[in-house]
Amino acid sequence: MAKDWNLTAHYIEAGASATDDVRGEFQKMIERALDDDRPYDAIIVHSYSRFFRDAFGLEMYIRKLAKADVRLISITQELGDDPAQIMMRQVIALFDEYQSRENGKHVLRAMRENSRQGFYNGSPLPLGYTTEEIEKRGIRIKKKMAVDPVEAETIRLIFRLYKDGDGREGPIGVKKIAVWLNERGHRTRSGARFGVSGIHKILTNEAYIGRATFNKRCSKTLRMKPDAEHITFDIPSIIDRTVFDAVQTTLRAHNPRSIAPRVLTGPILLTGLAQCATCQGAMTLRTGTSKSGMVHRYYTCSTCARQGKAACKGRSIRMDRLDNLVVDHLQARLFQPDRLTALLGSVMALRSERAAEVDSRVARLQTEISDADERLKRLYQMVEDGLTDLDDILKERVGALKHDRERAKAALDRIRETRSSAMTFDPETIERFGRLMRDNIATGAIPFRKAYLQSVIERVEVDDDVVRIVGNTATLEQAIAGGAAPADGVRRSVPKWRTR
């Protein structure tokens, strides 16, 4: 070198930002410089910005090195140790920090605009997607996300396992999906095994329904940014929206912070469904042993068991008796074709009545829009024919008519977005649904049977002389439309509270 110094070590860290000290080679260099054997007299950098682009961080490490008699020397910004030059170094550090933040702001702005146009910014791709080149602007190649046909089949399989199962048992939970995939040789893009958090992330990723989001988290802290800063753009979808929504509903309902996993997949058929008619408390399992040594199992009011007779008088019923009462009644009464047809008929009649009300609202809005358009045309014609001038009063009138028209159009669009198409069911569909439900609530594993029960009934009220099975006809209609897909039970807790 020009100064005839002995160069003892090189530290090169390509691609790492100098805005913080989370840099492997940087930390190795600092640790070695501070060792007791004093290996270095100085650390030489091209410029101070290569060492640190944060004024506070730069001064902190310079002082830390100074305690070990190690100097920081910039070959393009040679400064001494007198107060004036120290101040100059600090001013240079402030400008470096400012320039770094400005560059970051402009880069982020360009990346956000790139996302608004639907282009890929280079973040890790979700499993199931690849990139394809769309166009070339100068030396820059613009890419968009595209479906990877091989990986997409794995994504569809994961959603199908969670929603419907593998055909041999009911829906499979998050942990069991990971085990199922790993046992059959499925692997992630990097060749690793699937884990619980990875499966949960796939099941909740809106990219699979064609909605990718950029600028969602801070790249350094991983904290979620405000919704106003998110950039959402369209990409090819892999999963149907109705399937994705059904999975999200189940994940929320089966979140262990709201419902304990044992309620969903425990070995008791009516856990989470059976309630005491007096206090609406859950009926939980209690066991008792007779003099002969036989163990009897009962559904008992949990409120009475925990708080005594002052809270609820309590009631108990043998577990096998209540299970059989509910299953037999549903098989003999609810899931018969004539009963299902009658229930659906009442739903259709109510829906038709409501649809008629909505239709009248739509007609009124369409009339308002037509009237506003006609009045605006007449006003414009008068101006064109020279019958009147476009003075302030006329401008105000035109603005009012436009406002009324846009308001009516917005209301009409909202009705069309939220309006659902009427469902119709032929006798064969109703018969098939009833037969499927009659078979599946009576045989098979308890979690499997429970999932089917939970898909159509809300609760089972146990009173002194009567048991009431309470459901919702709209829920029943959705179950028939969905092919009797059961409420998806999770085998283990969903790790929503875990960090990335």
Q: pLDDT grade, residue 156 (50/70/90)?
A: very high
CATH of domain 24-116: 3.40.50.1390
Residue 115's pLDDT is what?
Answer: 78
Q: What is the pLDDT of residue 491?
A: 37
- Assign 497 a pLDDT band (cuts: 50, 70, 90): very low
pLDDT at position 493, please?
A: 41
Q: Is the pLDDT of residue 489 over 50?
A: no
Of 40-44, 52-56, 104-108, give the range with the top mean pLDDT.
40-44
Q: Which of 361, 357, 376, 372 is nearest to 412 (CA)?
A: 361
Q: Is the pLDDT of residue 481 over 80?
A: no
User: What mean pLDDT is predicted for residues 483-499?
Assistant: 44
Cα-flanking dihedrals φ and ψ of residue 282, to 5°? Answer: -70, 145
The confidence band for 238, taking pLDDT boundaries of 50, 70 and 90, is: very high
- Enter the tokens of residue 202: 């796939």
Give 338's Cβ-side CA count (13 Å radius): 2
Q: Is the pLDDT of residue 340 over 60?
A: yes
What is the 3-state secondary structure of the chain? CCCCCCCCCCCCCCCCCCCCCCCHHHHHHHHHHCCCCCCCCEEEECCHHHHCCCHHHHHHHHHHHHHCCCEEEECCCCCCCCHHHHHHHHHHHHHHHHHHHHHHHHHHHHHHHHHHCCCCCCCCCCCCEEEEEEEEECCEEEEEEEECHHHHHHHHHHHHHHHCCCCCCCCCCHHHHHHHHHHCCCCCCCCCCCCHHHHHHHHCCHHHHCEEEECCECCCCCCECCHHHCEEEECCCCCCHHHHHHHHHHHHHCCCCCCCHHHHHCCCCCCCCEEECCCCCEEEEEEEECCCCCEEEEEEEHHHHHHCCCCCCCCEEEHHHHHHHHHHHHHHHHCCHHHHHHHHHHHHHHHHHHHHHHHHHHHHHHHHHHHHHHHHHHHHHHHHCCCCCCCHHHHHHHHHHHHHHHHHHHHHHHHHHHCCCCCCCCHHHHHHHHHHHHHHCCCCCHHHHHHHHHCCEEEEEECCCCEEEEECHHHHHHHHHCCCCCCCCCCCCCCCCCCC
> Is the per-residue pLDDT at 380 higher than 50?
yes
Closest CA to 471 of 332, 330, 320, 361: 330
Q: Is the pLDDT of residue 490 over 80?
A: no
At 208 the pLDDT is 92
pLDDT of res. 158:
93
Residues above pLDDT 70, as percent of the chain: 85
Reported as a pLDDT band with limits 50, 70 and 90, residue 266 is low
Q: For residue 201, what pLDDT is reported?
A: 92
Residue scoring higher pLDDT (360 or 173): 173
pLDDT given for residue 204 in this prediction: 92
**For the residues 41-49, what does the mean pLDDT come to?**
85
CATH number of 129-253: 3.90.1750.20
In the chain, where are the structural domains located? 24-116, 129-253, 261-336+427-481, 353-418
> What is the mean pLDDT of the segment spanning 319-340?
84
Most confident of 85-94, 343-352, 388-397: 85-94
What percent of the chain is predicted at pLDDT more than 90?
5
pLDDT at 51: 84
- Contact in structure between 144 and 151 (CB atoms under 8 Å): no
Confidence of residue 98 (pLDDT cuts 50, 70, 90): confident
Average pLDDT over residues 82-105: 82
Higher pLDDT, 346 or 105: 105
Asked whether the predicted pLDDT for residue 175 surpasses 80, the reply is: yes
Which of 260, 247, 262 is closest to 200 using CA atoms?
Answer: 247
Q: Answer with the residue of higher pLDDT: 475 or 328.
A: 328
pLDDT band at 496 (very low <50, low <70, confident <90, very high): very low
pLDDT-derived band at 2, boundaries 50, 70, 90: low
| Structure tokens given for 341 | 């047809």
The predicted structure's pLDDT at residue 421: 57
387-415 residue pLDDT tens:
777 677 777 888 888 888 887 787 777 67
pLDDT at 383: 76
- Are 54 and 26 in contact, with CB atoms under 8 Å apart? no
pLDDT at 257: 59
Residue 288 has pLDDT above 70, yes or no: yes
Find the mean pLDDT for residues 124-152.
Answer: 86
pLDDT over threshold 90, residue 202: yes
Specify the pLDDT at position 10: 85
For residue 247, which amino acid is it?
A: V
Rank 63-72, 153-162, 230-239 by mean pLDDT and report only the highest. 153-162
- The pLDDT, as a whole number, for residue 494 is 42
Phi and psi angles of residue 55, each rounded to the nearest 5 degrees, phi first: -60, -45
